Amino acid sequence: MVKIEIPEDHPRKVSLETREKIIEGHTRHEVATAGLLAHGRGEAFDYLIGEKTNDIAKHAIKVAVAAMLTAHHPVISVNGNVCALVPAETVTLSELTGAALEINLFYYRKEREDAILGALKSAGAKEVLGTHDRPSETIPELSSNRRKVDPDGIGSADVILVPLEDGDRTEALKTIGKFVITIDLNPMSRTAVYSDITIVDNIIRCLPLMVEYARELKDTPLDELLKMVETFDNEKNLADSIKLMRTRLGDLSKNIGSLRQKIQPGANA
């Protein structure tokens, strides 16, 4: 595969580099073909929040980390897109929070599992659950491949981080009493709505911040961490995120002339 050189001054440099990571992940069999489409859909929502991590998301990130630090058995569910974009950060977060790593795939193929396992091991993971050679159990009322979970991982977890998730499994996890944290750029998705904590942010910005907060909060007294989690209101979090998008769109609609002028100097408004 020929790697595209992106000029340092390109206005879409970060976005293009991220797309290249997803494409490379697909070439390595980590990312399903549908994962390319899912990434593009998420990127569209990232435009709506200005492609930056706002204060609403930062608060949700901090509370999510607090929830993982106070869990008895936290687990991070890993799919192909997560592995392609933030493998090192995912492994580091696992180490800092004591969360197990479990591969869980909607579009399961043995070569995908092997590729993701290899990438996580290369990033420093000592143990990865959810592989085909391990025992499994099923999530009730779920018929997709995601129903299969590791009994030592998601099966017995109390808190689960499910970044870039599909809504049917989130709903099923809630039905069996799991506390679910998700990273989803679409605050209106079923995943976002059903989760206990939804981080409306791009995973490439979110995971490094989660690692940063995990280091910052690891010595915080347990009662303080629990209070952060207990007082978090995900409905308000989602409503505020939608309002932010609406406000930003309103501002852009009022200033489209100046935006065009910025993009194309000399153009008529």
Domain with residue 177: its CATH number is: 3.40.50.12640
Residue 29 within a domain: no
In the chain, how many domains are there?
1
- Identify whether 244 is part of a domain: no
Q: Does 260 reside within a domain?
A: no
Which residue range is the domain that position 159 belongs to? 55-238
Spatial separation of the C-alpha atoms in residues 157 and 153, rounded to whole Å: 6
Q: What is the DSSP string of 79-147?
A: -HHHHHH-HHHHHHHHHHHTPEEEE--SS--HHHHHHHHHHHHHTT-S--B--TTS--EE-TT--SGGG
Dist CA 69 CA 67 (whole Å): 5
The reported pLDDT for the residue numbered 10 is 63
Q: What is the pLDDT of residue 261?
A: 60
- Domain-embedded: residue 172: yes
- Looking at the domain assignment, is residue 90 inside a domain? yes
Place of tokens 């050679």: 133
Task: Give the per-residue pLDDT at 262.
Answer: 58
Cβ–Cβ < 8 Å for 139, 165: no
Residue 33 belongs to a domain: no
Residue 267 lies in a domain: no
pLDDT at 169: 84
**10-residue mean pLDDT series, the chain (269 residues):** 63 75 86 80 90 97 98 96 95 98 90 94 96 87 81 96 82 93 95 96 97 97 98 98 95 76 50
Is residue 21 in a domain? no
Q: For every residue of 133-184, which 3-state class applies, written as one string?
A: CCCCEECCCCCCHHHEECCCCHHHCCEEECCCCCHHHHHHHHHCCCEEEEEC
